[in-house]
Amino acid sequence: MSKWIKRLMFIALVAPMAMCQAQTEQYQAGIDYEVLPQAIRTANPSKIEVNEVFHYGCIHCFNFEKTIHPWTEKLADDVDFQRTPAIWQSALEPYARAYYTAKLLKVLDKTHVPLFEAIHVNRQPIRSEQDLVKFFGQQGVDEAKFTKVYNSFGVNSMIGQAKARAIGYRTQGTPEMVVNGKYRVTTRMSKNFNGMLEVATFLIEKERKAAL
């Protein structure tokens, strides 16, 4: 077999593979998402984690909720969706404590969106522990139980972990998403909310293939 024929056969074999790779790599590191300098430990190493960084006082996070919620409902079983409340200033800590308290009390389903709405739609001045006690009481949560968990060792630990995680994530704003502790997705890089979810979906598949 001549060298020319061998070369043609090689091109015929390699070209489709290269084209396929170019198609799958439709999003590029440094352009559409950021690769974190050090991978951050995930909650469940056996799954692909998607972690949303948010805070209740952020209007963009409230608006993003309407887009991300339907997306999370369709995630495959091998994907673990988590949230990390941002705490880059002391004023945000009560919101983070409220989130983790609701999570421990297993009432997130009935408090997460209503708290957003109370702040951004109804314009309720919810900023302190006392404000949050009243709000959770209105949602049917026992106020004494809420207060106990809100100030518990468990929530204190979660707050510390959230602060450390945000540093590792290199969080600069909200909302942001981190896929499998490796990739940071922002509206600045992906243009809009739908773009964030498209990039996150791409990165989930990238991690899925890497695990094979």
Query: pLDDT digits over 121-159, tens only?
Result: 999 999 999 999 999 999 999 999 999 999 999 999 999
Cα–Cα distance for residue pair 142/79, rounded to 1 Å: 33
Cα–Cα distance for residue pair 210/185, rounded to 1 Å: 19
Q: What is the mean pLDDT of the chain?
A: 91
Domains: count for the chain: 1
Q: How confident is the model at residue 11 (pLDDT cuts 50, 70, 90)?
A: very low
Residue 72: which CATH number? 3.40.30.10
Q: How confident is the model at residue 104 (pLDDT cuts 50, 70, 90)?
A: very high
Query: pLDDT digits over 35-59, tens only?
Result: 999 999 999 999 999 999 999 999 9
With a cut of 60, say whether residue 13 has pLDDT above it: no
Asked whether 185 and 28 are in contact (CB, 8 A), the reply is no
Query: pLDDT digits over 164-200, tens only?
Result: 999 999 999 999 999 999 999 999 999 999 999 999 9
- Terminal CA-CA length for the chain: 36
Of 82 and 23, the structure prediction assigns the larger pLDDT to 82
Cα–Cα distance for residue pair 166/172, rounded to 1 Å: 9
Q: In this predicted structure, what is the pLDDT of residue 7?
A: 47
How distant, in Å, are the alpha carbons of 17, 18, 77 from that of 6? Answer: 17, 18, 45
Owning domain of residue 162: 3-210
Q: How confident is the model at residue 79 (pLDDT cuts 50, 70, 90)?
A: very high
